[in-house]
Structure 1
């Protein structure tokens, strides 16, 4: 199964279904289907979701695409992304990965 690392502070939102997308830069290719998030601090802490779509775009387009332009002006988005990717720029091509709420064990 495909997987992606996730920082522990975001795992809670994945588990409650509040987090339904992730923005990734220069990481492994993800495609529609099952995907497991794995905590960067505890590899036993996981959540399985179903990826519905992966959309590639410039980082500068992400806030508008996700309807978060007011929350994420360019400077805020860039600062947040640089916590994970120090070299990212607004003109970097990123993948926006859309996914379901976490799946119950029976669906995995």
Structure 2
């Protein structure tokens, strides 16, 4: 029996960055846990737009550690990170444990 492909929605403004390979990770909080293997991103604004990627690492950590982990400390100081994440998760805190999902676009 074939394994069902994992799916995640991605906001319209970020979907082109996933397609181009510029965006290579995503941060999720209190969502379905993603595992290593195939993953299909679905554009939130147009469900017909999808891209299949290969997840190679999933790491759990406090939100406060993510910017350093993905090499974006200068771009994502704590307050910027928190504000950006609260657009999607209003109750998130810097101490919240998130899942960082890293992937390759074929």
Judge same fold: TM > 0.5, yes or no.
Answer: yes
- The answer for the alignment partner of 1:52 in structure 2 is 56
Q: What's the TM-score once normalised by structure 1's chain length? A: 0.92
Q: Note the residue ranges of structure 1 that are not aligned, 5 or more in a row.
A: 104-108
Q: Distance in 2 between matches of 1:72 and 1:39?
A: 24
- In the alignment, what sits opposite 1:18? 22
Aligned to 2:84: 80
RMSD across aligned positions (CA): 0.7
Residue 106 of structure 1 is matched in structure 2 by none
For structure 2, the 5+ residue unaligned runs are: none
- Count matched residues: 102
What is the alpha-carbon distance in structure 1 between the residues aligned to residue 68 and residue 18 of structure 2?
22
CA shift for structure 1 position 89 = 0.4
**In structure 1, how many angstroms separate the alpha carbons of the residues matched to 2:29 and 2:77?**
19
